[in-house]
Structure 1
């Protein structure tokens, strides 16, 4: 079973963008214990100075449809809830993308094994 992970990163090396301020998401496909970069998804920030544009939030969530999870350096409760409603988990992560993906793959591998 393969799945996709979205990563909020400005440099392609570190999970370093707040979900609501992200200007891009790197999309990775995970197959078993391996992952590969699929595409760069451009985004419009919807959070500025504590104010949120709900329409842009919904657009961001819709653009991430089909991903299993989002990794961001920070994500607010409202955005996390909007993602969860669409079946997308979110995680606050401050790490190298490679390390964060490996940890998440182990986490999902354990979950998926327990479901079988």
Structure 2
């Protein structure tokens, strides 16, 4: 069975973005044993130093609507709740993307 996983990364190598501040997400097609890069999705981050924008948070979650999970370096409780309502499970795995995906495959 194949599904998609989003990864919050600024450099394409490391999971280094807070969910609400991620300017892009790398999307991977994942099976029970492997992952393969699918596409890059640009994002207008919903969070700033002043707080977060609920409308933009909804747009970010919709951007990832076809994903089963999102791997991030950090995430707030509000974002966790919004993602959960859409059936997207967040994983906090700050690591090299390849290693984070391996950890995800072991823990899902």
- Superposition TM-score, scaled by structure 1 size: 0.90
The structure number with the bigger radius of gyration is: 1
Residues of 1 paired with 2:19 and 2:62: CA distance? 14
Judging by fraction of residues, say which structure has more helix: 1
* Aligned residue in 2 for 1:56: 56
Within a 5 Å distance, the mapping from 1:7-46 to structure 2 comes to 7-46=7-46
* Aligned residue in 2 for 1:104: 104
* Aligned residue in 1 for 2:80: 80
SS at match of 2:74: coil
SS at match of 1:68: strand
Structure 1 segments unaligned to the other structure (5+ residues): 109-116
- Superposition TM-score, scaled by structure 2 size: 0.96
Residues of 1 paired with 2:106 and 2:37: CA distance? 18
Report the CA distance shift for 1:84/1:60 in structure 2 as closer, same or farther (over 3 A). same
| Paired residue total | 108
